[in-house]
Chain A
């Protein structure tokens, strides 16, 4: 069975790049442009992993993270954000994310970490 990954980001180009990368690795990929859309997909599709940006319209990444943790404890979460402040990283980890990665990122490294998380 194919692992399902949800990518949440409001930057279309980043979505495009990540979708391309993950599909090539053989994952089933879903995309969401804001937090609201993301929560709908999570509830519906139960992805194995969610790649989360933090700063997004409507509902931010932290909220989405809380939502996942309260309803779908098994789903892995990776924060992928340009926010590099230590306080932001702490907050993300406190909320129960598995990884906190900062933009810009290395494609290979990202893929490697995902593989470690979901196999």
Chain B
């Protein structure tokens, strides 16, 4: 029959089987066959959720609370469809940020904060170690039950070295150390462990289904038989929803609680996130995992009812029904299978939890504390990787041993019925910080810290404290009348909430306070730039997946060899080289291009380290080689402002450039005009000389004739007369040139005298009258002016009049008319002739100097070519205007004289120069 030896042999044999599975998987993995990278394995590994507490405890809970046990499975099943949204995001963040645990996740999100990571680690230990001890207790109890074949074993107080549970614990610790800390990267997958866990999931399901079938179809005649018998025994309240002990609100709380547990229990996070190889595995897990939960729960109620029917009330602990039923029916081999199923459920939980917790302890508690110490850093900087791995191994051992001690010293005295749920409530405290952290950018470190701390305090007060009281360490008064007699502080009935189940009560108060403080302090506090960076990355992870390294605001410099040697310490030389080569190749950068690492490379290195020692520690390590300047939000704003200012400066520069361009254009223009002026002057001089040569030519020719020839008196006189005339002509030309030069340079002065214009006009007309008569041209004068005198230079104005009249005379065919009239305070004088007129394009230049000679070889039949130019100057000096137009086939020259002309010579002169 089954004896002690057989049980122990099977137990350790089972453990050996786990070792073998893990070992072979790892072997296969080295050869490139990644067995664990399969959606079914992933879904099965998630079934680490079902622990010994589920295996034995569900039946126990169903025996007292009926269907309520289902809530623990309804929650995960309900949340499973949301995995695609929540889990996928968490997985993506964790892969990209190289996150190694739930503590690391929270710490990373809130600016890679050490405090937060440490607190989460400590609270996780507080929440989970009792849970592990519960597993040990389940194993010990079931072992004892099987060994004694007694359904109600009394665990004798044997020294620990005689206690099988102790050796089992050590064996588990060994397994965990071997397969959970093989690689230094905490983010690396433990393929052997995952395969072993998946196997355990199948094994515990198989064992539980076996006992379920045995109870249902061997002891009873199927489901209907059990339920009929139960109803007959008055147990129907256990499977009817409306008559169970639990209120509907408790169902709600329990479901919500287990929803959070399935996501954030350290072992779930380990399996679901860290060990995940492919986000797509979620697709399968979303249906397969709930299906697994359904299968493992089908027989819970039948076994519970069967136990209640079979065993006299109270004679057997309902928690052990699963094992007690086969034993009482003498099915010892089945009982052994059931024991091993429970053992597998317990071990899977212990192994995965220990791995997850040890990672947290090493990466978020021990390393940050060690690394803060610079002396330590200096002394161990080349042995950090072994420090790290041994920290993790010792942590595993400590956790399991602590759990064992807890089981030995405390669990025996405590009521452990709800330890699993209490553990769930502890883990639920991380929910606001995580969910808020990935969907709310404004969630801050202070908010997370306050929320989690407050949540835990209430958790401790409402859920842990009562167990201590029950154990007799504290006076019962606290529970019955409240601490210091304050009834609203009774741990099970805060603020007078008495009707709730104590777990729901604890969950409600701890989580609502947590949430309130988290939200309030997040709104009140300000994020640092680092924190803000992380917040943005976490919330918008799907945007940042690819451009992460470059998207970080960071300033500082890292000496590349320093950074490399840091990576060597943790990754080893060859791995460092291959990672860096990969980095440079992917970014098309030259590895030797600079001896300084840029921000992108520093971030890459930090993430690599992050995966090994956790985000906060990685930051410290990288910080030690990077001359990083702490960037405050103000500095970020400063950088932005600088950019803004640079932009402004650029803008200003642009304006300046355009101004400069304008100025240079102006200068160019001026230069051109000066050149033009120069050209004009050259042209003027060349024209003047040309004009002068004409009379000189005549004078010389005739002088030579007179010199050479003996001419008759008459001819001699004629030629001499020509010489004199040509001399006069030259003199006139010289006068005119000097005149125009004076006007142009502003040196000309007007000789202003009170003049009667009417008289002046008549005098001028008189002097040309005979010329008109000679050419037979009619000449009419119309004067319509009041009798008044105005100040003007009479000679100059007369000069203008004569110039216009003589021009008219030259071109007129038969008629010339002079009109003088008064209009709008000015005197208007027109000289009209019926000549051929001036073409439109020439009209604009007619008042220019030597217009007739300009740019052409054809001479116009106009005098010196200076007359009109001088006339224009004279009129303008008087403050008037002169112009020409063609009207009714008449050429009309007209000028105006203001009655009170403001004559400012200097002003005029300037304007002409320009």
B857–A18 CB distance below 8 A: no
B690–A11 CB distance below 8 A: no
A112 at interface, CB cutoff 8 A: no
* Residue of B693, B700, B701 with most partner-chain A CB within 10 A: B701
A104–B858 CB distance below 8 A: no
**CB < 8 Å neighbour of B708 from A58, A82, A107:** A107
**CB < 8 Å neighbour of A105 from B701, B702, B722, B857:** B701
The answer to whether residues A57 and B690 also contact, given A17-B701, A107-B704 and a CB cut-off of 8 A, is: no
**CB < 8 Å neighbour of A103 from B686, B694, B859:** B694
Closest to A62 in B: B857
Instruction: Say how far B389's CB is from chain A's closest CB, in angstroms.
Output: 99
Instruction: Say how far A9's CB is from chain B's closest CB, in angstroms.
Output: 9
Instruction: Say how far B436's CB is from chain A's closest CB, in angstroms.
Output: 91
A57–B861 CB distance below 8 A: yes
B382 at interface, CB cutoff 8 A: no
Instruction: Say how far A102's CB is from chain B's closest CB, in angstroms.
Output: 8
B697–A103 CB distance below 8 A: yes
Tell me, in angstroms, the Cα distance from A14 to B722 when the chains sit together: 10
B726 at interface, CB cutoff 8 A: yes
B156 at interface, CB cutoff 8 A: no
B858–A57 CB distance below 8 A: yes
Tell me, in angstroms, the Cα distance from A17 to B711 when the chains sit together: 13
A55–B704 CB distance below 8 A: no
B697–A18 CB distance below 8 A: no
B858–A105 CB distance below 8 A: no
B696 at interface, CB cutoff 8 A: yes
B705–A103 CB distance below 8 A: no
Closest to A15 in B: B698
The size class of the interface chain A forms with chain B is 20 to 34
A13 at interface, CB cutoff 8 A: yes
Tell me, in angstroms, the Cα distance from A17 to B702 when the chains sit together: 6
A100-119 interface code vs B (CB 8 A; 1 in, 0 out): 00011111100000000000
B839-875 interface code vs A (CB 8 A; 1 in, 0 out): 0000000000000010001111100000000000000
Within 8 Å CB of A107, what residues of B?
Answer: 701, 704-705, 708
Tell me, in angstroms, the Cα distance from A13 to B690 when the chains sit together: 16
Which positions 407-435 of chain B face chain A at CB distance < 8 Å? Answer: none
Tell me, in angstroms, the Cα distance from A108 to B705 when the chains sit together: 10
A13–B704 CB distance below 8 A: no
Instruction: Say how far B651's CB is from chain A's closest CB, in angstroms.
Output: 52
Which positions 594-620 of chain B face chain A at CB distance < 8 Å? Answer: none
B714 at interface, CB cutoff 8 A: no
**CB < 8 Å neighbour of A56 from B701, B709, B858:** B858
A58–B858 CB distance below 8 A: yes
Within 8 Å CB of A54, what residues of B?
Answer: 857
B697–A57 CB distance below 8 A: no
Tell me, in angstroms, the Cα distance from A57 to B811 when the chains sit together: 14
Within 8 Å CB of A18, what residues of B?
Answer: 701
**CB < 8 Å neighbour of B697 from A56, A60, A104:** A104
Beyond known contacts A11-B698, A56-B858: 18 more, CB 8 A cutoff: A13-B698, A13-B725, A14-B697, A16-B722, A18-B701, A20-B705, A24-B709, A54-B857, A56-B857, A61-B857, A62-B857, A103-B694, A104-B696, A104-B700, A105-B697, A105-B701, A107-B704, A108-B708
The 5 closest A-B pairs by CB, nearest first: A17-B701, A82-B693, A13-B698, A103-B697, A60-B857
